[in-house]
Amino acid sequence: MRVVVAKPGLDGHDRGAKVIARALRDGGHDVIYTGLRKSPDEIVRIVSDEDAQVLGLSTLSGAHESLIPIICTGLRESGLGDVIVFAGGIIPERDRKALYESGVRAIFGPGTKTTSVLDFLNEASDRLSAGNPVGVGSDTGWHWN
Amino acid sequence: MALELSDTSNLLKSARTGNRRSLAKLLTAIERGQESEITSEESWILGVTGAPGVGKSTLIGRLIEHWQSNGEKVAILAVDPSSPVSGGSFLADRVRIPQADIDDSIFFRSLASKNFPGGIVPNIGKMCQALSACGWGRIVIETVGSGQSEISIVAFADIVLLVDGPDRGDIIQAEKAGILEIADSIAINKSDIPSSNSAIEDIRRSLELSEGDNRTVHLVSAINGDGISELISDLESISPDPGRLGIRNREKLISYWVSLLLSHEEIDSQLVNLGNGSITVRDAIYSMGSSMNFGGTANGRNDD
């Protein structure tokens, strides 16, 4: 799959994003890394121009509550409702429900095994093949974890 | 899911009205080998090549900054390598080119090499045609970080810029045959590092040995902007070298047939057989030679 790994917001830590990108590369995916400090609009344009099927968002600054729903809305408004969105970084348990409701399908925190990100994509891909929508624009309620 | 020719026609029609999403999907279809009927428009295609780490992406960022400030639109096709082990890739040219994200004047597509030889990807000529048909007349192709013999870029770019940097070997490297001979312009990047001066001297001395070689070697710094405007004036004033036609045709033919070969199912089945030890390399070569038929696939394809 073509996966964009993006860093929204102002934190400058991308070790986690690079580890995930590496795991996806080693799992046979094409990973496009955006670099640091991308705005929601920039991320939506990158996903669109790169024709990516998946978007991974890494944030450690605490801005996930405001930025991630804006990006999910932006994707839907740009006709990118079929893009599968997952998130990672420092995202407290209490904030996760709202992110799932905005269309995020998995959230990975510290200690995640890299293989579980690949397992998530496999499951999402299987669901897709079986005709079950998994994109940010679908109202399925399904999420990985 | 395979698209029909009519789907690509619709995508093209929509992309020509300025729909970026359709253009993005059209490029994906072409990259996967989908046929499309695209008529070439006037375009200017710059190929940027050179070894890994010499600063190709950062330099492209500087070039597009200049064109952006002139109100021009630029499309970039940036190739990074695929893993020979997993088949996956880490496409990170965007990281060095934040200028591409500022506004809609830049269309940037990252491409995985899929282990295609020559530093580019299959169907890149068609992708350039699609971009120019949609009004992206200025196109930059960035090759995989390339060595001396990856010259396929000459088949698809009007102008080839070779980027090199300091501490990359002595004058013997500059004397070797290959990409240095066919680049239209040469930039030694990282002029902020003192040893870049000896790098540029080596290249200049090597070019002096060829009579009538009046190519300019530029000393630039993509980091601080030194020498960039001189490089841009040079690139914009160069005309494509007509003496290059033979090499271009040869590279086009090779690139076309290699992409057909690599996308043929026979190669995968032979690799499986080789992997389980049921045949030898010699058997595989013989079997491919006698059973592969490209006639139907190749008919009518135009990969200019």
pLDDT tens, per residue, chain B with 304 residues: 456 666 889 999 999 999 999 999 999 999 988 877 888 788 999 999 999 999 999 999 999 999 999 999 999 999 999 999 999 999 999 999 999 998 999 999 999 998 888 888 888 999 999 999 999 989 999 999 887 778 888 889 999 999 999 887 766 666 676 788 888 999 999 999 999 998 899 888 888 888 888 888 999 999 999 999 999 999 999 988 888 788 888 888 888 888 888 878 888 889 999 999 999 999 999 988 888 776 655 444 444 4
Q: For chain A, what is the mean pLDDT? A: 93
Residue B88 domain flag:
yes
**Residue B82 sits in the same domain as residue B198:** yes
Question: Is B139 in the same domain as B199?
Answer: yes
The minimal CB distance from B101 to the residues A25, A38, A80 is found for A38
Domain membership flag for residue B85: yes
**Is B139 in the same domain as B227?**
yes
Residue A122 exposed, middle or buried by CB count within 10 Å (0-12, 13-18, 19+):
exposed
User: ipTM of this predicted complex?
Assistant: 0.93
Q: Is B162 left (phi over 0), alpha (psi -120 to 50) or beta?
A: beta
Residue B147 lies in a domain: yes
Same domain, B9 and B43: no
Selection from B116, B109, B74, B117 nearest residue B93 by Cα: B109
Question: Residue B279 domain-assigned?
Answer: yes
| Rounded Cα gap, residues B116 and B31, in angstroms | 12
Same domain, B19 and B43: no
Closest residue of A to B26, CA-based? A51
Task: Please give the tally of structural domains in chain B.
Answer: 3
- Report phi then psi at A80, rounded to 5: -110, 35
Query: Does A32 contact B at CB distance below 8 Å?
Result: yes
Question: Based on the domain organization, do B5 and B154 belong to the same domain?
Answer: no
Partners of B107 on chain A (C-beta within 8 Å) are 49
Identify the bridge partners of residue B141 per DSSP, sorted by sequence position.
B47, B77
**Is A27–B86 a contact, with Cβ atoms under 8 angstroms apart?**
yes
Question: For residue B202, is it within any domain?
Answer: yes
Asked whether residue B193 falls in the same domain as residue B158, the answer is: yes
Same domain for B160 and B196, yes or no, is yes
Q: Rounded to the nearest 5 degrees, what angle is found at the Cα of B77, between the Cα atoms of A70 and B193?
A: 95
Q: Which domain holds residue B24?
A: 1-37
Do B161 and B284 lie in a common domain? no
What is the pLDDT at residue B300? 43
Domain shared by B56 and B31, yes or no: no
Chain-chain contact of B82 with A35 (C-beta, under 8 angstroms): no
**According to the model, what pLDDT value does residue B170 have?**
67
Q: Are residues B105 and B79 in the same domain?
A: yes
What domains, with CATH codes, occur in chain A?
Answer: 2-112 (3.40.50.280)
B92: Cα separation from own chain's centroid: 15
pLDDT of residue B172: 66
